[in-house]
Structure 1
Amino acid sequence: HITEGLGNPLDDTLLGAIFAGILAGVGLGLVFRGGGTSGGSAVIARLANQYLDWNISKTMLAIDLLVVASAYFVIGGEKTMYTIISLYIGTKVLDYIIEGLNPRKAITIISHRSAEVAEQVNKKMQRGVTVFSAHGSYTKEAKDVLYVVVNKQELLELKRIIHKVDEQAFVVVHDVRDVFGVGFTIPKAG
């Protein structure tokens, strides 16, 4: 009764779906970051994350899409599509709230010129590089494998460095969920 007279109904359903997704994602993200759930599909998603290491937002999206698909015959096609838009936006916002607005990338680099690549990354990007000794299974050739974690914004610069030093390098880019330590959550020693 307190909020009954507040707010204005929207004539634009798409705008309503977008902002509903944003607000739901922010709310759920804050609840999950605090260690709680909102009930419903959130409980299943939290359990799947805890025991199966499934992504919370994607699990919720899958469950909610099943519910919305079954409601298609009740709410109709147009409202079903708007609901899917809202759920998708909510999922993306939830990811940003849980994982942060500045995701990291881990890059594995296999190069015949790995020492030069590592030196350039150290010098130009002020990023540490971990070097693993490895060998090819087929060729039995010994080589160094480089591993570096960068901000998403630094990825293009890193690719340029690698390409400039060794156009034949084999590079794998991985999404990283969490990074902590010197240079990320702990300031570098000056």
Structure 2
Amino acid sequence: MNNTSVWEIIKKVGIITFGALLGAYALNFFLIPANVYASGFTGAAQLLSRILADYASLHVSTGLLLMLFNIPVAVLGWLKVGRAFTVYSFLSVLLTSVFLELIPIQEQADDVMLYAVFGGVISAIGIGITLKIGASTGGLDIVSMILSRMSDKSVGTYFFLINAVIILTAGLLYGWDKALYTLLSVYVSTRVIDAIHTRQQKLTAMVVTKKASELQKAIYSRMVRGITIVPAKGAFSNEKRDLMLTVITRYELYELKKIIREVDPNAFTNIIETAGVLGFFRKDE
């Protein structure tokens, strides 16, 4: 392992740790005191923790439930997605769970709306920087990776359904004002993540390169995306090149950039947002 690889691992772990710290801080200082729920598995763990305490007198921490929810997902990710992505993602979950146990929960919030907004923003910053370095915060991120590799169906429906269940359950059990504040927090969080990383679940990469064969082999060995290669020619230089087209998920953007930098640093790459895909969204086996 060279020095660059070691430094990259240290940088990734550092950013993941900071992102997990932000996520735990947002929960224990803003969302939990205000009885506002996060999105995805984190919100589900947070809601279940309160339900168990209120209706069964069982005090199970949000951090522990979050970890338990993510164990089967991590196993699936290890088998279906990739070891590096899954390890970094599970590390994020593990650190978040640890920080949730170490950071004391703030007293009751005075201004619920303010706490909902700030909690959503801070947690989103943690999620956004984690996504940006090629990892995730676990849960639905890994589920979406698995689903996208099994079919070309949008994973947005699954995100919507679990968040809808969280919001409706919170409204039914603890009042619709809590559901509305949760909806506000989820919306703010989503917008901040969009600003830091990318809004679209799918992206199209157009790569102009002289090393199409080497890039194709590298992408096929480390990703499961199909590639279309079109002959191209530079208008100014009149040199022959190839235009490579591939559609990826936003979670694979970091890995694709890394492959291109390693194989052909001089390649011209254009990443554009993809609203939808018709056809099978993966490399044929």
> Could you state the TM-score of these two structures normalised by the residue count of structure 1?
0.47
Larger helix share, 1 or 2? 2
Find the structure with the greater CA-based Rg: 1
- Structure (1/2) with the larger strand percentage: 1
